Structures are given as structure tokens and as C-alpha cells.
């Protein structure tokens, strides 16, 4: 687990794949310190809000995240607003966090 998250690739994840363990969680979060773990409806997710000077810059960033999602075949929730974009990663198939979510969060940060 010494390789930087941002250079790793997502793996295919199916129902039944293991969620990130309680031991792994703080180690992985330390590599993406601007991301906040949120629990909604009993599902842990990673969330970060990015701020921009206007809607056009927000939109351009949301498009970059969309391209990343297609490249990794892992898709976040994207909330696009004037001057900000909120990204939420989690793995739908396992209703929680998988290593893929941390990889994509790290890669999202690199898009700035």
C-alpha cells in the first residue's frame, strides 16, 4: 500500500467485494486529507467540495471528473453549482467504501 493512490487503477468491483476495513480507513484518509467521510442512509462515502471563481470553471472541472469516471469505470455523484463542485465517491455495489473510491478521490485532486 506504499504506492500513491493517484497512480493506481480501479479494479472491477462486484457485490460482495470487501469494504475498506476500520484499520485501512485512517491510513487511506491520510493520503487524501481534504476529503471527508460522510455517512448517509448507513452508507459511508467520501466527499469534497471544490471552489471556483465562476460557473464556467466549475463546469469545466465537473467535465474533467466525468472523463476520469469513464476512464476508471467508477462513477461519483457530482453536484455542480455556481462557483463550486461537490464530488461524492462510494461504491454502489457494496454500499460503502472500497479502495477504488480512495484512488478516484486522489485522482480527482490531481485534476486541479
* pLDDT tens digits, one per residue of 45-78: 999 999 999 999 999 999 999 999 999 999 999 9
Determine, yes or no, domain membership for 103.
Answer: no
Determine the average pLDDT of the residues in 95-111.
98
Is 9 inside a domain boundary? no
Is residue 26 in some structural domain?
Answer: yes
Say what the pLDDT of residue 13 is: 86
With a cut of 50, say whether residue 15 has pLDDT above it: yes
Determine the pLDDT at residue 1.
44
Task: Quickly list DSSP for the chain.
Answer: --S-GGG-------TTPPPPPTTHHHHHHHHSTT-EEEEETTEEEEEEEEE-SSHHHHHHHHHHHHHHHHHHT---EEEEETTEEEEEE-BGGGTB--HHHHHHHHHHHTT-
Is residue 105 included in any domain, yes or no?
Answer: no
Q: What is the mean pLDDT of residues 85-98?
A: 97
Number of domains in the chain: 1
- What residue numbers bound the domain in which 28 lies? 20-92
Say what percent of the chain tops pLDDT 70: 98
- CATH number of the CATH domain containing 44: 3.30.1360.20
Amino acid at each position: 500500500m506504499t504506492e500513491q493512490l493517484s497512480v493506481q487503477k480501479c479494479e472491477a468491483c462486484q457485490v460482495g467485494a470487501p469494504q475498506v476495513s476500520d484499520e485501512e480507513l485512517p491510513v487511506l484518509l491520510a493520503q487524501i486529507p481534504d476529503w471527508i467521510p460522510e455517512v448517509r442512509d448507513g452508507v459511508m462515502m467520501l466527499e469534497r467540495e471544490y471552489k471556483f471563481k465562476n460557473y464556467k470553471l466549475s463546469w469545466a472541472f465537473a467535465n474533467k471528473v466525468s472523463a476520469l469516471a469513464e476512464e476508471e469505470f467508477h462513477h461519483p455523484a457530482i453536484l455542480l453549482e455556481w462557483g463550486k463542485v461537490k464530488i461524492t465517491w462510494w461504491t454502489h455495489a457494496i454500499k460503502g467504501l472500497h479502495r477504488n473510491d480512495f484512488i478516484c478521490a486522489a485522482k480527482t485532486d490531481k485534476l486541479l
